[in-house]
Amino acid sequence: MRQSRKDLFIVTLFQSGDEVAGDLSGCGFGGFADFALATEKTLVKKPAGISFEAAAALPMASMTSLQALRNKGNIREGQEVLILGSSGGVGTVTIQLAKHLGGVVTAVCSTRNIEQSRLLGADHVLDYTREDFAAENRKYDLIVAVNGNYSMLKCRKALKPDGKYVMVGGALSQIFQAIVIGKPLSLGRKKMLFLAARTNTTDLAYLLNLASDGIIKPVIEKYFTKETTAEAMKYAAGGHARGKVVIRWEP
Please report, for the domain that includes residue 184, its CATH number. 3.40.50.720
Q: How far apart are CA 204 and CA 123, in angstroms?
A: 26
Do 132 and 214 reside in the same domain of the chain?
Answer: no
Do 109 and 156 reside in the same domain of the chain?
Answer: yes
Instruction: Give how far Cα 223 sits from Cα of 112, 115, 251, Å.
Output: 20, 21, 16
- pLDDT at position 159 is 96
Q: Which residues contact 68 (CB under 8 A, 6 or more apart)?
A: 94, 144, 166, 168, 195, 197
When divided into structural domains, the chain yields a total of: 2
Do 83 and 136 reside in the same domain of the chain?
Answer: yes
* Residue 216 is assigned to a structural domain of this protein: yes
Describe the crossing of helices 59-66 and 201-212 by its angle, rounded to 10 degrees. Answer: 100
* Residue 34 is assigned to a structural domain of this protein: yes
* Residue 68 is assigned to a structural domain of this protein: no
Do 238 and 154 reside in the same domain of the chain?
Answer: no
Residue 71 class from Cβ within 10 Å (0-12 exposed, 13-18 middle, 19+ buried)?
middle
In the predicted model, what is the mean pLDDT of residues 49-74?
95
Strand partners, 225: 248
Please report, for the domain that includes residue 44, its CATH number. 3.90.180.10
Do 29 and 131 reside in the same domain of the chain?
Answer: no
Do 126 and 156 reside in the same domain of the chain?
Answer: yes
Rg (CA), the chain: 19
Residue type, 197: A
* Residue 65 is assigned to a structural domain of this protein: no
Q: How far apart are CA 240 and CA 85, in angstroms?
A: 10
* Residue 2 is assigned to a structural domain of this protein: no
Domain enclosing residue 41, as ranges: 7-59+201-248
Q: Does residue 65 contact residue 90 with C-beta atoms inside 8 Å?
A: yes
Do 50 and 97 reside in the same domain of the chain?
Answer: no
Do 163 and 214 reside in the same domain of the chain?
Answer: no
118-171 pLDDT tens trace: 999 999 999 999 999 988 788 999 999 998 678 888 999 999 999 999 999 766
Mean pLDDT in the chain? 89
184-232 pLDDT tens trace: 888 889 999 989 888 899 999 999 999 999 999 999 999 999 999 999 9
- Of 11-25, 86-100, 166-180, 215-229, give the lowest mean pLDDT range: 166-180
Q: Sign of torsion, CA 57 59 62 64?
A: negative
